[in-house]
Amino acid sequence: MKKLNCVLLIDDDVPTNYYNKKVIEQIDCAEHVETCISAKAALEFLKSDFDDGAQPKPDLIFLDINMPGMDGWEFLDSYNELSDDVKGQIVIVMLSTSVNTDDEGKALQKGVEGFVRKPLFKDSLTRIIEENFG
């Protein structure tokens, strides 16, 4: 399995981010794991200057839907307005507790590569990496 440079977790729930980071670390699939507890903070992170090497640009983003302030849908709308230089080849996967089948369809319409129900498990993470990064 390919080892990613960076995975970005966007979720307002700190324990969820901690758990997901541990799953990623257990299968050793990323050099770095970054977390943002708000969609706005994630957008600012993505606008960072990654060229200086201080922090790596994400290859993969796991995005929660239900967050205060700016939810996952609003994040996607703002993300899709970013320049191609900022977006690069980032793969976005929704990671949510939502059981609404409409959410999965809506996510795919907005350019999300996958929809996974929380919590993140090793097998679903491995599948996502294999499907999107070969």
- The pLDDT, as a whole number, for residue 52 is 67
pLDDT tens-place string over residues 48-105: 877 666 778 999 999 999 999 999 999 999 999 999 888 889 999 999 998 888 999 9
Domain map of the chain by residue range?
Answer: 4-133
Question: 10 pLDDT exceeds 80?
Answer: yes
CATH topology of domain 4-133: Rossmann fold (3.40.50)
> pTM score, two decimals?
0.95
pLDDT, tens digit, 9 for 90 and up, residues 23-39: 999 999 999 999 999 99
Q: Taking residues 5-32, report their average pLDDT.
A: 97
Which three-class secondary structure string do you get for 15-42? Answer: HHHHHHHHHHHHCCCEEEEEEECCHHHH
